[in-house]
Amino acid sequence: MSRAFACAALVALGIVSSAGRVSTQGPTQLVRSADARTAPAILTTHPWLQARLNGIARRSGLWREAVGNVARTGRRAIVITSDEVVVAESTFGPAVGAFDDAVLAEIAPVPHHDTRVDVVLVVVNLPLIERIQRRTSALPAEVEGDLDRILVHEVYGHALPYLLAGDLSGRCADPLPGQQAHEACAIQRENAVRAELGLNRRTDYGLHDLTLIRRSWQ
Ligand SMILES: [Zn+2]
């Protein structure tokens, strides 16, 4: 899933303007304190997400190559959980809820100077994933497999192309209406890394590809 948050939402989050308060707690400070020469290209404060990101990097050469190329640019993907997104007060009226609580994950390039992109936010709805896990009694390995699928799609499929390009021209899209899933940029990238990870190939855009979702329907 990908949805470039509307600029107004980013402003409401305090990401692109000083109009609001800081939107994210830990990760924002991570970015401020990170040495551009040494900080990793993918930042997260969440140990579970960090462990999954480390595991993907160990097993995927494509992932490591792309992340290494982004690291040299000083650009960053910041992976946060949905409960780390704090909607800030805005001078534009009531705060805008920028993350749909029913969505498993989304990305948001943070443009500045109109089109330049140095940071992409990746929001993973871990509270929702954990609720589904509890309800379905999914095994830890099943949840981890789904987390890997989600991270590969959002980070490798969507976030890294923006960061490699350094501007909004790096958009790698989900299937357009009428387009086969395997023809879409983000799914093609996702499947290349899935093959290295030994995960099943994604053949459609539906969520039944995820074990947690299939279990929740049973
Ligand atoms: Zn997507």
In a domain, 186, yes or no: yes
Cα(70) to ligand 1 centroid in Å equals 20
Q: Which two tokens stand for residue 196?
A: 């290295």
In a domain, 2, yes or no: no
Render each residue's pLDDT in the chain as its tens digit; 218 residues: 444 333 333 433 444 332 223 344 444 444 444 455 567 899 998 999 999 999 999 999 999 999 999 999 999 999 999 888 766 555 555 444 567 788 899 999 988 878 899 999 999 999 999 999 999 989 999 999 999 999 999 999 999 999 999 999 999 999 999 999 999 999 999 999 999 999 999 998 888 889 888 888 77
Cα(101) to ligand 1 centroid in Å equals 16
- DSSP secondary structure string, 53-101? HHHHHHH-HHHHHHHHHHHHHT-EEEEEEGGGB-PPPBTTBSPP--S-T
In a domain, 40, yes or no: yes
In a domain, 145, yes or no: yes
Range of the domain at 67: 7-217
Rounded CA-CA distance 14/36 in Å is: 22
- Count how many domains the chain has: 1
In a domain, 62, yes or no: yes
In a domain, 104, yes or no: yes
Cα(201) to ligand 1 centroid in Å equals 15
Cα(56) to ligand 1 centroid in Å equals 18
Cα(91) to ligand 1 centroid in Å equals 31
- Quick check: pTM over 0.85? no
In a domain, 147, yes or no: yes
In a domain, 36, yes or no: yes
The answer to whether 84 and 26 are in contact (CB under 8 A) is: yes
